[in-house]
Amino acid sequence: MILLTMVARVADGLPLAASIQEDEQSGRDLQQYQSQAKQLCRKLNAQSPDRCTLETGDMNFHYLIAQGVCYLSLCEASFPKKMAFAYLEDLHNEFYDQYGRRVPTVTRPYSFIEFDTYIQKMKKSYVDSRARRNLGSINTELQDVQRIMVANIEEVLQRGEAISALDTKASNLSSLSKKYRSDAKYLNTRSTYAKVAAVAVFFITLIIYVRFWWL
């Protein structure tokens, strides 16, 4: 069962198209998964692995990055991985044909929301168990699916946070050291002043002494 499909631009995580299958029977609230999907799209970048499966509870996110576009789907954990990636692959082929060239230019979120129609059709053909059998034969080239990395969604989403935490710590450190530096300078000057003052006092006393008592 494919519950949610999202197509986004990798460069800035801008959502391009999406399709949501509200599940009346189970009444599952997809809101949480949706926001996870959104976050995920933002987190992904050119360095992310091309194909990956992320586990979140009893669901799996599968994503595929191709030509700067990320195809993400949320499936039940029981849904075969092979099918999921075949589905994403299909989406990619169609999407790239239709909109590939325009992807870098758009600014509006969900600019290609019309792709929804196609997504739904595809979804139906993949979910339908009778059709599935027919599809099974074409998926042989996806044998390497087993080697696809599996990670936990939490890890992926947290990764950025850790880095940003590190970043803030580092900047704190640098600002502290700056403060230390200026404080030290201040102390230095103060001690210099003190020295100068002491010497001055000494000489003034000396002069006064010479002026009044010596002569």
Partner 1 sequence: MSGFTNLNSSVGYSQNSTPNGGAAPPYQNGPVQTYPAMYPPAGYYGAPPQQQGYSTIPGHAAPAPNKAPVTNNAHSANYYHNNHQQQQNHLPQHHVAPSPYSAPLSSAPPSQPYAALPSAAPPPTNAHYNQQPFQPHPPYATPGSYYGQQSYHPSSARQHPSLVPVTASGPGAPLYPIVSYPSAPGSSQYGTLSSSQSTSAPVGMPTQMVGAPLHQYSAAPPPSTTAVQPGYGVGPPGQTAPTVVNGQGSAAQNAVHQHYTQSHQASLSYDSYSGVPPGSGGADTDQPPSGTPSTSVHSSPGHHQGVQYGYVANSGASSASATTSGPAAAAAAAAAAAAPSSSSSDDDDEEEDEDEEAGGDTSSSTTGSASPVPNSYDSLEGGSYPDSMPPSNDMTNQAAPYGSYGYPSMQSAYQQGPASHTDASPSHDLYGQSGYQQYSQPFPNLSQLSAALGGLSGVPELEVEALRPVNLLQERNLLPPRPLEAPEPNVSSDLKKVNCSPQTFRCTLTSIPQTQALLNKARLPLGLLLHPFRDLQQLPVITSNTIVRCRSCRTYINPFVTFLDQRRWKCNLCYRVNDVPDEFMYNPVTRSYGEPHKRPEVQNATVEFIASSDYMLRPPQPAVYLFVLDVSHNAVEAGYLKYFCESLLENLTKLPGDVRTRVGFLTFDSTIHFYNLQEGLSQPQMLVVSDIDDVFIPSHDSLMVNLKESKELVKDLLTSLPEMFSQTRETHSALGPALQAAYKLMSPTGGRITVFQTQLPTLGVGALQAREDPNQRSSAKGVQHLGPATDFYKKLALDCSGQQIGVDLFLLSSQYADLASLACMSKYSAGSVFYYPSFHYIHNPAQLEKFQKDLERYLTRKIGFEAVMRIRCTKGLSIHTFHGNFFVRSTDLLSLANVNPDSAFAVQMSVEDSLADSSLACFQAALLYTSSRGKRRIRVHTLCLPVVNQLSDVYAGADVQAITCLLANMAIDRSVSSSLSDARDALVNAVVDLVSAYKSNVSNLQQSGLVVPASMRLFPLYILALLKQKALRTGTSTRLDERVFAMCEFKTQPLQQLMRLVHPDLYRLDNMSDQGALHLNDTVVPQPHLLHLSAERLSRDGAFLMDCSNVFYLWIGKCCNEMFIRDVLGCPNYASIPPNMSHIPELETPLSERVRAFLDWLQDNRAFSCTIHVVKDDASAKATLFQHLVEDQSEVASSYRDFLQHIQQQISK
The residues that touch partner 1, with contacts defined as CB under 8 A, are 6, 14-15, 17-20, 22, 24, 31, 34, 38, 105, 107-110, 113-114, 116-117, 124
Alpha-carbon gap, residue 114 to 112, rounded angstroms: 5
Amino acid at 178: K
Nearer of residues 19 and 73 to partner 1, judged by Cβ = 19
**Smallest distance, Å, CB 107 to partner 1?**
4
**Smallest distance, Å, CB 142 to partner 1?**
27
Instruction: With H, G, I as helix, E, B as strand and everything else as coil, classify residue 18.
Output: strand
| Pairing outcome for strands 59-66 and 149-152 | unpaired
Nearer of residues 103 and 145 to partner 1, judged by Cβ = 103
Nearer of residues 32 and 172 to partner 1, judged by Cβ = 32
Nearer of residues 76 and 114 to partner 1, judged by Cβ = 114
CA-to-CA dists, residue 79 to 33, 76, 84, angstroms: 17, 5, 7
**Smallest distance, Å, CB 122 to partner 1?**
14
**Smallest distance, Å, CB 41 to partner 1?**
9
**Cβ neighbours of residue 65 under 8 Å, at least 6 residues apart?**
10, 44, 48, 49, 50, 51, 71
